[in-house]
Amino acid sequence: MKIVVLKFGGTSVGTIKKIKRVAEIIVGYKKKNYKVIVVSSAMSGATNELIKKSFEISDNFSDSEHDVLVSSGEQVSCSLIAGRLIHRGYKSRSWLSWQVPLLTVGAHKNSRINLINKNKIIKYLKEGGIPIVTGFQGINSQNRVTTIGRGGSDATAIMLAKFFKAERCIIYTDVEGVFTTDPNKLKKAKKIKVISYEEMLEMASLGAKVMQPVSIQDARLNRIDIEVKSSFIKKSGTLITKKSNIINNKIITGITSTQNDSKVSLIGVKDKPGVAASIFKPLSKNLINVDMVVQNISANGKETDLTFTIKTDALNKTKKIIQENKTINYRKLLFEKGVSKISIIGVGMITTPGVTFRMFQTLANKKINIQVISTSEIKISVLIDKKNTKKALIALHKEFKLDN
């Protein structure tokens, strides 16, 4: 069978008018003789409203009941899509995750799909039906509904594509694809036609909001090609695939920036084995994600200055944890909110010397000071003053010829 998996995000199914449009997109693939499996998110805003209700009930709402509650949003959108297809004369029905079933492992709120029973869906496809499957959820070994994290509908689509050996997995959203940088921040941003899993994973982890990092990792591990495209405009999107499928003459594929980072600096820490672990262990226990880290040892080797970044909404909690940590000694504790992380990403930098110099020189030419540096094989990130974010994006976008 020639199977295609189509996933529609919350903005694509946000209104009745949009759902009618989604139905026409599905019909278009049906007319091309594809066997179509559809995955839908909840209508935009629906999940947040359900979470809000849970907070009104209890400030310690049960995780298992949270999953039952929030999974109802996808049930609504799937029923509406199926209902519209039936109205158009097609055989269709909604499938809740437990009806397929999609089997999950792991904790509530953050489980993972590890097995899909294909029999019922295969039979339905052979009968000419169009199954509309609830994204973002599954069922565990205790027959309880579980959810697979925000943005989990992408992961549902990718795992369905894997188990059903789909020819294509297409993620429909409210943007045309993946751009060289955020088009809302830079008008000269260009749509990327093809991008590697590794580059997309870095971009998503560093602030690009097109897809969740865990979904891209699932696609990479299972070698599922993904196309990201708009449900509102008839244009080709961005293909996410393996590096060997890409012919690209650009060194840098994309640039990301953040808006909600803060810098924490511990000055004059008494240096001894395990001091870094003693600082970061309580932060980890409190689920505070530490990002860029830089350490400078004093000339006498007795003290060190330690700087790292966190999300601004964790700043007060971080400050309290460090101040209450009696296992570390330091002279001064500094915090700075007004910082932004700028990152350049591209597999081309692996084989191209001088990329780091070009980035630093470009920022220096614009009188932009670099506070912290972090690198990987295909990424260079720097921390700068937040007020210089746009100036840095414009300069780097031009330097690495992404304007063209």
Q: Does the domain at residues 3-174 carry the CATH identifier 3.40.50.410?
A: no
Are 403 and 397 contacting, i.e. CB atoms less than 8 angstroms apart? yes
* pTM for the whole structure: 0.83
pLDDT at 403: 86
pLDDT at 64: 96
Extract the residue ranges of the chain whose pLDDT is less than 50.
Answer: none
pLDDT at 207: 64
How far apart are the C-alpha atoms of 140 and 153, rounded to whole Å?
A: 17
Q: Domain segments of the chain: what residues?
A: 3-174, 257-399
Two structure tokens written together for 257: 């920036």
Give every CB contact of residue 211 below 8 A, 6+ residues apart in sequence: 151, 154, 171, 200, 204, 226, 228, 240
Instruction: Enter the CATH code of domain 257-399.
Output: 3.30.2130.10
Of 331, 330, 333, 289, the closest CA to residue 313 belongs to 289
